[in-house]
Amino acid sequence: MPIYEFICKECNSKAEVLLRNVNSEVSPVCPHCNSTNMERVISRFAYHQSEQMRRDVSGAPQKNAAVGGINDPRDIGRWTEDKLSSMGIDIRNGEHADRFASVRDKIDKARDGDMSILDKKDD
């Protein structure tokens, strides 16, 4: 069921018309001035980003971000692991596991909601 948009040539208002069939005849009437002098316009469309795309664009998590938002501080682990992984470093397994033990510990605490790790300047 397509939705078409029309602009009224009399009052310049926009109106939407839902058709049950693409081949249906349409005679739109302006809801504001009741004019039938309407012109069909190209509708805008929505572009939906995936969660991963939004995360990639948003960058690093922010300490003051809203909980559950795209920059949720609890997501700091995801961002850190993604960045290290892009450099070929797996902090959970393999040759780098011991070197990144304290980082893993902080990531796990952040995921559990312990934000005290953001206040510390050690390591």
pLDDT tens, position by position, 44-61: 777 777 777 776 766 665
* The Cα angle at residue 65 between residues 63 and 66, in degrees rounded to 5: 135
> How does residue 7 score in pLDDT terms, banded at 50, 70 and 90?
very high
**How much is the pLDDT for 120?**
52
d(CA 55, CA 71): 8
Rounded to whole angstroms, the maximal C-alpha distance in the chain is 74
The reported pTM is 0.37
- Beta-sheet strand order (sheet of 38-41): 14-18, 3-8, 38-41
Top-confidence residue, 78 or 17? 17
> Counting beta carbons within 10 angstroms of the beta carbon of residue 7, is it exposed (0 to 12), middle (13 to 18) or buried (19 or more)?
middle
